[in-house]
Amino acid sequence: MQSMLVTGGAGFIGSHFVRYMLQRHEGLKIVTLDALTYAGSLDNLAFAAGDLRHVFVRGDIRDGELAEDLLRRHRVDTVVNLAAESHVDRSIGDPGLFFAVNTGGTQALLEAARRCWSADPADPRCRSYHPGVRFLQVSTDEVYGPQGPGGRADETAPLRPANPYAASKAAADLAVGAWRETYGLPAGVTRCCNNYGPGQYPEKLIPLMAARCLLGLPLPLYGDGLQTRSWLHVEDHCAALEAVLLRGDPRGCYNVGPGCESTNLDMVRLLLRLTGQSETLVRHVPDRPGHDRRYAMDCRKLAALGWAPQVPLQDGLAGTVDWCRANGGRLQRAPGAAAL
């Protein structure tokens, strides 16, 4: 792992991952590719200014020629695909965009990697690749669909996505599997639960509710708020991706999660306590279509690599609230952040 392409690296998880890897791997070069749509910002990469090990390129993962040029020019041996349209509500309004970016973009990246890394690029049936190369697709627990009480999806569970976002990610995961099986590409998948932490765009539950708590605004909560999710601090997610890259099966699939669950209402109550606000701010609003009741995963396969979450939920939420408090102006200026 000497030269890495990180797609979506100006976004929330991507920028944390770029920072994490640069800090921990002195000899690693990272090329960040990001289209800088509404949720991506060069502010998230300010820490890398002047670092000769980091190169930023503005571009779309659907541009296979660009991806291939970057892989060749920078001698990339590792691709981590974090680029995605990821907001379920937006996917309901514009499903075509989600399939174009999440599924089509992944396919374009897979093809670029196959052409660049193949031992014989002229032979489409060649299944041999340069030593040490690998492609890692970063996916979501939502591809498994809702889990019944007490149930947990392991990596062999069927994919049953219930909304356009999850379906577009499931399709991308299946493309990774197809390129692995048909072409022998060393490509794997990670599927993570809900992330949170400093710098998250204020359309997701935690930064939106934290910012509205700090402003004393009503907190719109879908339905009864008893939808159940697992929550993982973004730094723990970065550590999980590193563990998979260093010690995991290059062609494997790994679930990523803390093994504990909270309802959306419980998360909002924690944020209210951290900000000193009253529960009277909560406003229950009509539930959205395709809102799965519960996600839960079995993550023992990842734990066997020596990974375990390190950030307690209470501490992680407190740090996130502190970041929102210090960056309230930035949150309110974010494109599309009308909910604030």
Catalytic site residue from 34, 142, 155, 292? 142
165 is catalytic: yes
- Residue 335 neighbours by CB under 8 Å, 6+ apart: 38
Query: Of 43, 44, 25, 119, which Cα lies nearest the Cα of 82?
Result: 44
Find out whether 286 and 223 touch, Cβ atoms under 8 Å: yes
Q: How far is CA 313 from the centre of its chain?
A: 18
Helix H or strand E encompassing 139: strand 134-140
What distance in Å separates the CA atoms of residue 264 and residue 146, rounded to the nearest whole number?
15
33 with 7: CB under 8 angstroms? yes
Q: Which DSSP helix (H) or strand (E) runs through 228?
A: strand 228-229
**Which one of 34, 60, 85, 141 is the catalytic residue?**
141
Distance between CA 245 and CA 190 in Å, rounded? 10
Residue among 279, 240, 275 nearest 257 (CA):
240
Q: What is the CA radius of gyration of the chain?
A: 20
Instruction: Please check whether residue 12 is in contact with residue 44, taking contact to mean a CB–CB distance below 8 angstroms.
Output: yes
232 close to 143: Cβ distance less than 8 angstroms: no
To the nearest 10 degrees (0 to 180), the angle between helices 12-24 and 234-247 is 60
Q: Is 141 a catalytic residue?
A: yes
141 touches 192 (CB < 8 A): yes
Q: Is 203 a catalytic residue?
A: no
Q: Return the biggest CA–CA distance within the chain.
A: 65
User: What contacts 247, CB < 8 A, 6 or more positions away?
Assistant: 305, 306
**118: three-class secondary structure by DSSP:** strand
Task: Check 165, 183, 201, 254 and give the catalytic one.
Answer: 165
Report whether 33 contacts 59 (CB < 8 A).
Answer: yes
What is residue 169's three-state secondary structure?
A: helix
Residues recognised as catalytic: 141-142, 165
